[in-house]
Amino acid sequence: MTEQVDHRVATPGRSNLDPAVLAGAESFARTWATAVIGSSYVPMTRAEVAEHLQALTEVLVHALHASPFRTAPGYEIGARLVDAHFTGTDTLGRTVQLLGDDLLGELGIAPDELMRSRLAALQGALSAGYARALRERTLAEQEAIRAAVLDARDQAEAALRASEARFRAMFTEAAIGIGIADIEGRILDVNQALQDMLGFSVEEMRQYNIRDLMHPEDGSSVWRLYDQLTAGECDHYRAEKRFRRADGEQVWTHLTLSLVRDDHGDPQYQVAMIEDVTDRHLLQNRLRYQALHDPLTGLPNRALFLERLGRVFNSRARRRAGLCYLDLDGFKVINDSLGHDIGDRLLVEVGRRLDHSVSGEGKLVARMGGDEFVILVEGSRDTRDIVDVADRVLRELESPIRIGGHELTVSASIGIVERELAGTTAADLMRDADITLYWAKADGKSRWALYDPERNAREVARFTLSATMPAALERDEFYVDYQPLVRLEDSTVVGVEALVRWQHPEFGRLAPDRFIELAEETGLIVPLGRWVLRRACGQARRWLEEFGEAAPFVSVNLAVRQSRDPELVRDVKRILDECALPPHHLQLELTESAIMGTADEPLEALRALSDMGVRIAIDDFGTGYSNLAYLKHLPVHELKIAGSFMEGLRAADEEDAVDAQIVSTLVQLAHALRLGVTAEGVETPAQAKRLHRIGCDTGQGWFFAKPMKPEDIDELLRR
Amino acid sequence: MDSVERPTWAPGDIDLGRPSIARVYDYWLGGAHNFAVDRAVGDRVLADVPVLKSVILNHRAFLRRAVRHLLSQGIRQFLDLGSGIPTVGNVHEIAQAVDPTAKVVYVDIDPVAVAHSRAILTGNELVGVLQTDVRDARGVIKSPEVRNLLDFDRPIGVLMVALLHFVPDSDDPHGIVAAYRDALPSGSHLAVSHAGYEDGEWDPAWDDAKSVYNRGVSEITYRRKQEVQALFTGFELVEPGVERLPLWRPESPDDLDEHSARFLGFGAMGRKP
């Protein structure tokens, strides 16, 4: 550094000195070094210090003896001490004292008046030189450190100015809105972006307090967090917030508010960073609207409806709720015949009418898709409320809809569910409404149906049965019982009616009325009927083998669907052949409607069967509307009079004259046509006696025997 | 040392109302690069612990001995961390007296000390000055001042004289030393002088001085010999290992006295293998 010191002082005239004096000088220098080392930091080793001081000592020796005597060397020595950084305050004192005490003695100089005087003069000069050099050094160092302070300050300020300029630029140029307010909320500064965003100038903004920017739609958390922030309880928070612009428009923003604290940690300023997210917000709203509304009708869509329904269940703010599940009747026909455009416009109009007729708090009309609509009523008092809605809707749809020159009349079917929310779910409600809509359709359309849990339970059971029936047939869960047909004249068993049963693993033994209708619906009746026929024929064959001519014929019921099965004749023939059963041992029972209401083909089949030798009986005769004139042309051998007519013949004293007359007439009619007559449902001896008297040929009923297993029939026959 | 919680771009405080450790040291070393507030603190501490003066001189003398030893080992590049006010006997003076091409980088956080250093070093192309927090080893190593002057393919002498006792354990002095160590080429050396004592040596009378020092100058963390030794993880200690400061390679038996063996600080040098 510039203060580098040349401490290797020249030793002028060293060789001139007497060796004894030189040794004395060396000795003094060592003592001197010991005295001053440690008084201040000198960048030399102890040896270097001693060497340095010895050189100064030699200068002193020369000065003492010099002629003429001068004090300048003493002055120079003082300065050199300071140059070597002997700047400690003790250095000078110890040096002056040591010079006075030891120097002359060490050098072997007699302390006479002259020498004492010269030494004193040199001591004084040394002190003055030292003081002056130290003063200069001190002033220089003070000057240097002050200059350094100024330099450092300049640099710091330049850096501060640069950083301030950077921050000012950042504040001014930022694309994000920035505002600064004091802790009371007085706005101090806002940048250009924020002025542009809100449409106020900085001067206008400075008139405002933050609280003036409150918006009625602000979430409560925005201002709760604001209070916490200004209280110093939190340092920043983010929120979505709306502002009103100067022009009255709204700006949606994403706001970040930060607290700036002073050096003591106390809240000082608040800084708001505000990002305009209006476009994003509107887009989100539009996307959300689109996601939740049907583009055709503008009504809420399935998603929004389900969301709302879910909320009804989650909030439980209401105790009850109801649904109308609505489907246009015959919409497909309109769509297919008039085109989708007309169909779409029809849906728009229907949607409009629904929306119009159903309005108000807690009601929602949604399009579920296709021509299905749903109406949600929250907080209904009872079912009547929803029925009112459904009635209103049906009325609203009554007036024809005019579209593109077409005058369209539409009707709708509505399934209604209304109940307490407790104990049910949104999914239950939807499913039940859907089922109920199906009922409304099945019950004849253009009407509403109300959900009925018992009907539902029945349907569920029916469904279960019909679904398990095919497997049951394969697993041999069906079996056949036989009920004797008894000749009234001599009480002989002439035939047996085959009655199918289902030994259901879950529901137990099921009578035909539980499953035959289902089997008709599903079509399973054909294979089931064929199975019964084969089973009955097989049994008849065994009886024939055992009892010969005394063996009974079997009478097997033929369902409507079976009678129309083109394979019927072939099936019967094959089964008879397989069982080697003579055809007259088989009687087929058909209902009146199956025979009367038929077209030609089934009749052909019956005729073929009859020609084959199979007996044909009309079951439940008298309950339908038989064309009696037609009867005579039919290939029929037997009439079975329905059991309902037997009521009036139950007991002698309770005889119903009308019933008796009907039965009597029927018997006469049958006999006139040369048909046999069987009375069903015979339960008492009186009935049996009366029927015999009337002329009835055969009886069937509990009075004679209940349906029984084939082995039990064997027993009867053996008697 | 000032707190350095501020970001790196922010200028350091220049508050002449508060003493600066660099200027107090200058005062103790006999310099006049200081202000009344520095001298007041320096005097108060010295009044309580007169021995401190010799402690300070000993740290400065250790610097001289350490640099001279490094020079004797052929090292010609020096990184003086916490260099303070350049009073007398600075590293470049010692080094360039032996080899005028020796290079030195001074690092200190005190902006005034750094400004002063820059002023008196103007024109000396072989010496650099960097104002930063020496605890940020990566920042120091990556700085243009260091990168432009020092050759990291050749050994470097790193000096931490009277520095690490101002780094409390919470600032992870081991981590700081390790960061410098990892950046240094093989053959580099680290010289450390550190305030410290062994169990049983503390004089309770010094507690007041310590608190004056802590409040007025800087928090000081005394460490035991073993703790100082632990700072040299990854270095091979140069003879005589961690030793009382006056006893570390003394220049003359006369420099030692009966107090040397209980001196309130240690010196050590390590070589990165």
B16 CA to chain A: closest CA distance, Å?
Answer: 9
Q: Kindly identify which residue of chain B lies nearest to residue A39, measuring between CA atoms.
A: B30
Tell me if A161 is assigned to some domain: no
Q: What angle separates helix A89-98 from helix A113-173, to the nearest 10 degrees?
A: 170
- Within 10 angstroms of residue A283's Cβ, the number of other Cβ atoms is 11
More confident residue, A596 or A512: A512
C-alpha A31/C-alpha A710 separation (Å) is 149
8 Å CB contact of A85 and B32: no
Mutate to test the interface with B, among A145, A154, A160 (most CBs of B within 10 A): A145
CATH number for the domain harbouring residue A586: 3.20.20.450
B224 CA to chain A: closest CA distance, Å?
Answer: 26
* DSSP H or E segment with residue B221: none
A188-231 pLDDT, tens per residue? 999 999 999 999 999 999 998 888 888 888 878 888 888 888 88
Tell me if A497 is assigned to some domain: yes
For residue A123, pLDDT over 50 is answered with yes
Nearest by CB: A151 against B10, B35, B115: B115
Taking CB atoms and an 8 Å cutoff, what residues of chain B touch A47? Answer: 251-252
The pLDDT value given to residue A7: 40
Cβ neighbours for A288, distance < 8 A, ≥ 6 positions apart: none
8 Å CB contact of A137 and B64: no
Helices (H) then strands (E): counts for chain A: 26, 21
A391-433 pLDDT, tens per residue? 999 999 999 999 888 888 889 999 999 999 888 899 999 999 9
C-alpha B20/C-alpha B37 separation (Å) is 9
8 Å CB contact of A43 and B115: no
Nearest by CB: B11 against A3, A147, A160: A160
Measured over the CA atoms of residue B230, residue B235, residue B241 and residue B246, the dihedral's sign is: negative
- Note whether A224 and A323 are same-domain residues: no
For residue B9, pLDDT over 60 is answered with no
Tokens linked to A153: 């300050």
Sequence-ordered alpha helix ranges (H) in chain B: 21-28, 36-48, 51-72, 91-98, 111-121, 137-142, 144-149, 173-183, 206-216, 225-230
The pLDDT value given to residue B47: 83
How would DSSP label each residue in A197-208? HHT--HHHHHT-
- Is residue A81 within 8 Å of residue A56, measured between CB atoms? yes
SS3 B108: strand
- Note whether A420 and A504 are same-domain residues: no
Phi-psi region of A317 (alpha: psi -120 to 50; beta: other; left: phi over 0): alpha
8 Å CB contact of A152 and B23: no
Taking CB atoms and an 8 Å cutoff, what residues of chain A touch B56? Answer: 41
Q: Which residues of chain B are at the A interface, by a Cβ-Cβ cutoff of 8 Å?
A: 9-12, 14, 16, 23, 29-35, 53-54, 56-57, 60-61, 64, 85-90, 92-94, 111-116, 118-121, 251-252, 254-255
- Note whether A98 and A242 are same-domain residues: no
SS3 B29: coil
C-alpha B247/C-alpha B257 separation (Å) is 10
- Is residue A329 within 8 Å of residue A411, measured between CB atoms? yes
Tell me if the bond preceding A582 is cis, omega within 30° of 0: no
Tell me if A356 is assigned to some domain: yes
8 Å CB contact of B88 and A88: no
C-alpha B227/C-alpha B268 separation (Å) is 12
Taking CB atoms and an 8 Å cutoff, what residues of chain A touch B19? Answer: none
- Note whether A509 and A590 are same-domain residues: yes
For residue B162, pLDDT over 60 is answered with yes
Nearest by CB: A1 against B32, B90, B254: B90
CB-based burial label for B170 (10 Å; 0-12, 13-18, 19+): exposed
8 Å CB contact of B30 and A88: yes
Maximum Cα–Cα distance across chain B: 50
Closest CA to B244 of B199, B196, B184: B196
Average pLDDT value for chain A: 88
Tell me if A158 is assigned to some domain: no
8 Å CB contact of A148 and B119: yes
Query: Band of the pLDDT at B4, cuts 50, 70, 90?
Result: very low
C-alpha A197/C-alpha A176 separation (Å) is 9
8 Å CB contact of A144 and B119: yes
Tell me if A167 is assigned to some domain: no
- Note whether A138 and A198 are same-domain residues: no
- Note whether A507 and A585 are same-domain residues: yes
B60 CA to chain A: closest CA distance, Å?
Answer: 8
A83 CA to chain B: closest CA distance, Å?
Answer: 10
- Note whether A18 and A137 are same-domain residues: yes
Q: Span A337-346, mean pLDDT?
A: 91
Tokens linked to A23: 């040794």
- Note whether A544 and A664 are same-domain residues: yes
Last residue of a domain, one of A107, A125, A145: A145
Rg (CA), chain B: 18
A263-318 pLDDT, tens per residue? 888 899 999 999 999 998 889 888 989 899 999 999 999 999 999 999 888 887 88
C-alpha A580/C-alpha B100 separation (Å) is 135
For residue A121, pLDDT over 80 is answered with yes
DSSP B132: S
- Note whether A237 and A363 are same-domain residues: no
Q: Kindly identify which residue of chain B lies nearest to residue A6, measuring between CA atoms.
A: B97
Taking CB atoms and an 8 Å cutoff, what residues of chain A touch B118? Answer: 151
Taking CB atoms and an 8 Å cutoff, what residues of chain A touch B115? Answer: 147-149, 151-152, 155
- Is residue A533 within 8 Å of residue A575, measured between CB atoms? yes
Tokens linked to A371: 């021509």
C-alpha A108/C-alpha B204 separation (Å) is 50
Q: Span A445-460, mean pLDDT?
A: 89
For residue A438, pLDDT over 80 is answered with yes
C-alpha B224/C-alpha B218 separation (Å) is 19
Give the C-alpha distances (Å, rounded to integers) separating A676 from A415, A669, A679: 51, 10, 10
Query: Band of the pLDDT at B1, cuts 50, 70, 90?
Result: very low
- Is residue B159 within 8 Å of residue B71, measured between CB atoms? no
Q: What are phi and psi of A641, to 5 degrees?
A: -80, 130
Nearest by CB: B120 against A1, A155, A160: A1
C-alpha A248/C-alpha A261 separation (Å) is 35
Last residue of a domain, one of A102, A128, A145: A145
HEC string for A214-270: CCCCCCHHHHHHHHHHHCCCCCEEEEEEEEECCCCCEEEEEEEEEEEECCCCCEEEE
Instruction: Please give the CATH number for the structural domain made up of B21-271.
Output: 3.40.50.150
Taking CB atoms and an 8 Å cutoff, what residues of chain A touch B113? Answer: 148
- The answer to whether the predicted template modeling score (pTM) of the entire model surpasses 0.95 is no
Domain positions in chain B are: 21-271
Phi-psi region of A552 (alpha: psi -120 to 50; beta: other; left: phi over 0): beta
The ipTM of this complex is: 0.83
A134 CA to chain B: closest CA distance, Å?
Answer: 10
CATH number for the domain harbouring residue A358: 3.30.70.270
- Is residue A484 within 8 Å of residue A493, measured between CB atoms? yes
Cβ neighbours for A120, distance < 8 A, ≥ 6 positions apart: A100
B64-120 pLDDT, tens per residue? 999 999 999 999 999 999 998 887 889 999 999 999 999 999 999 988 889 989 888
Tell me if A327 is assigned to some domain: yes
Taking CB atoms and an 8 Å cutoff, what residues of chain A touch B251? Answer: 45-47
More confident residue, A641 or B180: B180
Q: Kindly identify which residue of chain B lies nearest to residue A86, measuring between CA atoms.
A: B30
- Is residue A193 within 8 Å of residue A175, measured between CB atoms? yes
Nearest by CB: B9 against A85, A87, A163: A163
Q: Kindly identify which residue of chain A lies nearest to residue B35, measuring between CA atoms.
A: A142
The pLDDT value given to residue A653: 64
- Note whether A299 and A234 are same-domain residues: no
Q: What angle separates helix A89-98 from helix A19-36, to the nearest 10 degrees?
A: 150
B33-59 pLDDT, tens per residue? 899 988 988 888 888 778 778 888 899
SS3 A587: strand
Sequence-ordered alpha helix ranges (H) in A236-382: 278-292, 302-315, 331-338, 340-357
C-alpha A24/C-alpha A628 separation (Å) is 172
Tell me if A606 is assigned to some domain: yes
Q: Kindly identify which residue of chain A lies nearest to residue B86, measuring between CA atoms.
A: A1
Last residue of a domain, one of A451, A478, A513: A451
8 Å CB contact of A141 and B32: yes
Measured over the CA atoms of residue A38, residue A42, residue A46 and residue A47, the dihedral's sign is: negative
Q: Which residues of chain A are at the B interface, by a Cβ-Cβ cutoff of 8 Å?
A: 1-5, 34, 38-43, 45-47, 85, 87-88, 137-139, 141-142, 144-145, 147-149, 151-153, 155-157, 159-160, 163
The pLDDT value given to residue B13: 60
A3 CA to chain B: closest CA distance, Å?
Answer: 8
- Which residues, listed in sequence order, are joined to residue A617 by a DSSP beta bridge? A589, A638
- Note whether A336 and A374 are same-domain residues: yes
Q: Tell me which residue range forms the domain holding A108.
A: 14-145
Taking CB atoms and an 8 Å cutoff, what residues of chain A touch B29? Answer: 40-41
Nearest by CB: A156 against B93, B111, B252: B111
Domain count, chain A: 4
